[in-house]
Amino acid sequence: MKIAIDGPAGAGKSTIARTLASRLSYLYIDTGAMYRALALKAIKAAIDINDPQQLVDLAFHTHISFLPDSQEQKVICDGEDVTADIRSPEVSSVVAQVAAHPAVREQMVRMQQDMARNHSVVMDGRDIGECVLPDADFKFFVTASLEERTRRRIKELQSKGYQVNEEDIRKDIEKRDYQDAHREVGALKILPDSIVIDTTDLTVEEAVTRIMSIIQGGAVIKDAL
């Protein structure tokens, strides 16, 4: 079983996808964390993020894996725990540029497809339904209003001890939305076979329950065919 969850930043995708994967005992793959890990490594190595060849070379020599943890899944890059560092504002401000290069995406998509091979997975990102798992059993597009996404992002950063300015956060989300939706390859979009879940007025639990009931309903229909 392959479940694709796409949507814009701050819509609650990762929390929903992680909860869903844990309920179903499936593997959870956070593809945004993979682009973030590569962006972090590029910053540390002082690589020009506008140079796709350097980034592709870097990605080729990078090993990213996920380690289940009781709280949140740990992200391991070349043996180092980068779970906290990949969420820094510095990484957030450059990651969309890193993810915009078609050659970088090609390599990341290949890595993601390898991870999903032979497993039941819940995978979240921007291009999962279209590029990574086009044959997914279910494709969800999880979204929320810009206001609500800004509010959630501020809460998340404050809980991690960052000083935040509401206007800066809103502009950063708007900029990323634009970059994610307008890139050449793997642009964020609602597909004809996506099921849209608007989480603006939903708790995580309500969103997960809604998705679970769609999956269970769909599985019953598939069994009957």
- Tell which one of 3, 4, 5, 9 touches ligand DC (CB under 6 A): 9
Give the residue among 84, 87, 86 at the shortest CA–CA distance from 62: 86
Instruction: Supply angle C-alpha 129, 199, 174, rounded to 5.
Output: 75
Q: Is residue 127 a contact point for ligand DC (CB under 6 A)? A: yes
Q: Which is nearer to ligand DC, 177 or 198 (CB)?
A: 177
Span of 21-29, 45-53, 95-103, 195-203 interacting with ligand DC by CB under 6 A: 95-103
| Residue 105 CB coordination number (10 Å) | 23
Smallest separation, CB 23 to ligand DC (Å) = 21
Q: Is residue 126 a contact point for ligand DC (CB under 6 A)? A: yes
Instruction: Supply angle C-alpha 114, 117, 118, rounded to 5.
Output: 150
Q: Is the dihedral of CA 32, 214, 73, 116 positive or negative?
A: negative
Running DSSP on this structure, what letter comes out for residue 28?
E
Q: Is residue 172 a contact point for ligand DC (CB under 6 A)? A: no
Span of 47-55, 58-66, 125-133, 193-201 interacting with ligand DC by CB under 6 A: 125-133
Q: Is residue 95 a contact point for ligand DC (CB under 6 A)? A: yes
Contact between 166 and 150 (Cβ < 8 Å): yes
Positions in the binding site for ligand DC (CB under 6 A): 9, 31-32, 35-36, 95-96, 99, 125-127, 176, 180, 186
